[in-house]
Amino acid sequence: MAKFSLLEQPWIPVLQESRVREVGLAEALLEAHTIARIETPSPLEEVALHRLLLAVLYRALPLVRGGCDALELLEQGGFDRNALQIYLCRFCDRFYLFHDTAPFLQIPDLPDKDPLPWAKLLPELASGNNPTLFDHTTEENVPLASYAQAARALLVHQAYAPGGLLKRLGVTSAKDAPLARPAAFLAVGENLFQTLVLNLVPQKDPGVPVWELPPLRTQDVQGHATRWPLQGAARVYAWPSRGVLLLDEGCGVRKVAYGPGVEPLEVGFRDPMVAYRLGDKGQVLPLRLSVEKSFWRDFSAMLPAAGGSFPATLAHAVRVAEEMGLRLELRVLGQVSDQAKVLDVRREVYPLPQGFLSPEAEELLQKALELAERVGNALYGVAREVAKGVLGDKDQEELRRFQDSLPLLPLYWAALDGRFPRFLEGLAQPDAMDRWRGEVRQAALRAWEETRAFVGTEGRHLKGLAVGERAMGLALTHAQAREGRP
């Protein structure tokens, strides 16, 4: 029995005509030019839904071979309805959430012994190895998920499942899903149609997505029986990382059967949504988000001058948008994990100014980031001096704890988190660097003033602050005097 068509039933949340509603996959593509954007509070859902739509476009439309094809597509103002309808009609039987022989992105005969709560599929929900991030769901009290919720969770899990122990169907452990560790970069245009075109990076061979292949069965994943090369955007964007079967209760989903998925064979494919950097040993590594800091502080790692590379989506979108005079923003989205535990999920939004990829802009960006880090390092030393002034120089562990308790560095970086997007937006302006110097200095001084108020007023505290005051003046002078030097 086929039930809940992802093509027709509403499940993708979008912002359209100033209100949020859910639409089916077909409407999301056919009416993309009337939809402002996919609107979901979950950063992981945002990425996973865009990747599914892009995977369909890679197969339904003629291949985008370069910027000219993308410009031509944008000038049409909407996707080719006839081509989309023909493609979706051809594979409509493969887009049912529940289906006797081919449920979407699932394995129909997966054993349902020892089922797991559906919350297992979303890192934001507490379940199993997921720590409590944003809710207090327990495995004994799992709420019933609507079919739309379950469909989105399934998509997120297939894209973000972290590797680790599995112990099912002859498989002891499974590898990371494609986006389990890397940050994903999404260039966002003025409506969903523009966004999808801007992220439709030219591919020589986008690969064959899972819905165009014979449905996977349990025997195909048992003992890692099936291994596919991890390559081609259309295939990787809808990769069956885990064997999942949503167990229908008639009005929703509470449990899922669970097992291994297709084993990925690493073939050096670079995900178009991922930025890369050079590791210490010269290896190419994907850029990740960090619990400790905002992503903009790692912008320099993906600059070509530093041996890194921009994500293909960003490079493609900026070139096309500049030709069309479109306004762009960059969304950096993903999860932060430690081993198999997801510690955070994040969405960071930055403006993308004209000329962002020019050598001049890269040089300026590098210079600005180095200045911010240099002052940050100097403030770390200031905090150390304050701690020594207050406590003396005997117990190093106590010194470190006191130093870490000072709000100096957290306040400095928090202030720059809010100011960096403004600097990025004005990157092409002639006084951009002068204004950034002012922002950095002001952030440091305000953080110091707050720190002064935080430290006590006893004699030893005042002594520490006096030492810190001198260190602060020297730090700012020294940091800015070094600007431009290697």
Q: Residue 354 pLDDT > 50, yes or no?
A: yes
381 and 260, same domain (yes or no): no
80 and 192, same domain (yes or no): yes
Pairing state between β 276-278 and 284-286: antiparallel
pLDDT digits (tens, 9 = 90+) for 204-238: 999 999 999 999 999 999 999 999 999 999 999 99
Q: In the chain, what percentage of residues exceed pLDDT 70?
A: 95
pLDDT at 480: 67
205 and 92, same domain (yes or no): yes
Contact (Cβ atoms closer than 8 angstroms) between residue 339 and residue 359: no
Instruction: Please report whether residue 114 resides in a domain.
Output: yes
Instruction: Compute the CA torsion angle 184, 185, 191, 194 (nearest 10 deg).
Output: -110
370 and 244, same domain (yes or no): no
pLDDT at 280: 83
Number of structural domains, the chain?
2
Tell me the two tokens of residue 455.
């430290």
pLDDT at 123: 81
Instruction: Please report whether residue 335 resides in a domain.
Output: no
257 and 139, same domain (yes or no): yes
Instruction: Please report whether residue 305 resides in a domain.
Output: no
- The DSSP symbol for 458 reads S
Instruction: Please report whether residue 280 resides in a domain.
Output: no
Q: Which of 39-48, 290-299, 460-469 has the highest mean pLDDT?
A: 39-48
Phi, psi of 251 (to 5 degrees): -135, 15
Q: Residue 484 pLDDT > 60, yes or no?
A: no
Tell me the two tokens of residue 240.
């069956």
DSSP structure string for 241-274: -EEEEEEE-SS-EEEEEEEE-PEEEP--PPPTT-
Over residues 24-51, the mean pLDDT reads: 98
Q: Which of 28-32, 142-146, 300-304, 452-456 has the highest mean pLDDT?
A: 28-32
Instruction: Please report whether residue 349 resides in a domain.
Output: no
What confidence category does residue 485 fall into, taking pLDDT thresholds of 50, 70 and 90? very low
228 and 86, same domain (yes or no): yes
Contact (Cβ atoms closer than 8 angstroms) between residue 53 and residue 31: no
- C-alpha 286 chain-centroid distance: 12
365 and 261, same domain (yes or no): no
- Round to whole Å and give the CA distance between 238 and 105: 8
Sheet containing 116-117, strands listed edge to edge, beginning at the edge strand earlier in sequence: 116-117, 253-260, 242-248
Query: CB 249: neighbour CB atoms within 10 A?
Result: 11
Q: Mapping DSSP to helix (H, G, I), strand (E, B) and coil, where does residue 296 land? A: helix
Please state, rounded to an integer, the average pLDDT across all residues of the chain. Answer: 92
Instruction: Please report whether residue 299 resides in a domain.
Output: no
Residue that is last in its domain, among 265, 286, 321? 265
Lowest mean pLDDT among 185-194, 217-226, 437-446, 459-468: 459-468
Instruction: Please report whether residue 52 resides in a domain.
Output: yes
Tell me the two tokens of residue 236.
């990787």
255 and 394, same domain (yes or no): no
Measured CA distances, 392 to 385, 395, 408, 453, 454 (Å): 10, 8, 19, 20, 19
Query: Domain residues for 431?
Result: 361-480
What confidence category does residue 138 fall into, taking pLDDT thresholds of 50, 70 and 90? low
pLDDT at 139: 62
- Round to whole Å and give the CA distance between 108 and 363: 53
Phi, psi of 395 (to 5 degrees): -95, 105
Q: What is the CATH number for 432? A: 1.10.132.100
Residue that is last in its domain, among 265, 294, 311? 265
Instruction: Please report whether residue 320 resides in a domain.
Output: no
Q: Which residue has the tokens 């006084």?
A: 431
Lowest mean pLDDT among 64-73, 133-142, 155-164, 250-259: 133-142
With a threshold of 0.85, does the pTM exceed it? yes
Q: Residue 460 pLDDT > 90, yes or no?
A: no
